[in-house]
Amino acid sequence: MLPKIMLKKLDFIALIPNEQTKAHNYIAYLIQKQDKIILPLDIQKTEAVRYLKSSNSHEFVNPSTHNTVYRIFMGLNIKINNISFYKYDGENFYTYLDVESNNKNIKINVSPIDGLILSKMSNCPIYVKDEILYQTGIKLTEKVLRDALFEG
């Protein structure tokens, strides 16, 4: 019998510039509220801008590939169920976009930022395999928060 894969729900909480890198990337922070674990994702500046310009409104003011894909899905009656972080190789996260069409579920491999943008646009949930969350996440404790807020 195969072990059951446990998925934990994440909520997007912030996108913050990472001034410590030469490329001035951003860090997207997602939280798993029940276990109080933060999942940080390194996001390139151009990807962060795409996320910030995306909208969960159906009034598309910024034409983009994401808007096009979303419109095609809507036109073909394809529902976006969720995105899920299913693998971490030590450097990269891998995500599936779980869609449904004609009562068939299809998992499409997408980049994490593409998944987050489409999740925002469709207002669908974000999940992560529990082993990835526990391997890469940061457990929120009073000490961690105090050190983060008052270091320096």
| 35-80 confidence digits (pLDDT tens) | 999 999 998 888 888 888 777 665 555 678 888 888 899 999 999 9
Domain contains 2: no
Give me the helix-helix angle, 45-53 and 112-122, nearest 10°.
10
Domain count across the chain: 1
What is the extent of the structural domain holding 54? 7-150
Which whole-number Å values give the CA distances from 14 to 3, 27, 69, 124, 146, in the listed order? Answer: 33, 8, 24, 17, 18
Domain contains 141: yes
Domain contains 51: yes
Domain contains 16: yes
Residue 128's CATH number:
3.10.690.10
51, two tokens: 């996320």
What is the pLDDT at residue 145? Answer: 76
The model's pTM is 0.85
Which long-range contacts does 75-79 make (Cβ < 8 Å, 24+ apart)?
Answer: 76/101, 77/101
> ∠78-63-122 over CA atoms, to 5°?
35
